[in-house]
Amino acid sequence: MTRILYFIDSLSAWTGKAFAWCIVILTFSTCYEVFVRYVLNAPTVWAFDMSVQMYGALFMMCGAYALSQGAHVRGDVLYRLMSNRTQAKIDLVLYIIFLLPGAMALIFYGYGFAADSWFYKEVSWSSPTRIQIYFFKTLIPIAGTLVLLQGFAEAVRCVICIKTGEWPERLHDVQETEVRLMKEQQELQRQEKDHD
């Protein structure tokens, strides 16, 4: 089971890191637009479309990666004080009530939106360049599928934690300093308990 969880984590991480490059494209295109608009007095017609599409792709495709790293927003003022089993029970219920229907809606309705968009070769009506958007609408059901897969992995982790009382290991990646310091503090507390 661990290999399956790691495979799903790896898929989420790979996709998130691949689409994270959208922020680089977005940054360079915005800087270019600012330069040509205010220095050369020659604004582009494509900069607005580029920023909307790149940010949308980044937001949609990095959701599963954020979930795999535990980076989604959580009110952990009380949550972090609870036992691992209680945390796992709460997470499992929330995954079933919110994440599963949300991911299924992204897949089901996103597929319909993408299929219609491809059929009509949809372009943006709010854009002066009339950019094609059917490529980007295809990301909606793909993102839903990735979130659903990662949600499955998270639910399995919850079940394992409920049974064992310990969270299963994750693939590690870049972490916020606060998270790393909390883990170090927990490890010190465990060592002190073992020493006593």
173 has pLDDT over 90: no
Q: Is the model's pTM score more than 0.85? A: no
Q: What is the pLDDT of residue 72?
A: 76
Q: What is the pLDDT of residue 110?
A: 94
Q: For the chain, give every domain's residue range.
A: 2-181
What are the distances in angstroms from CA 121 to CA 51, 134, 137? 21, 6, 11
Question: Mind listing the pLDDT tens digit for each residue in 16-52?
Answer: 999 999 899 999 989 999 999 999 998 888 888 888 8
**Residue pair 65/17 in contact by the 8 Å Cβ criterion:** yes
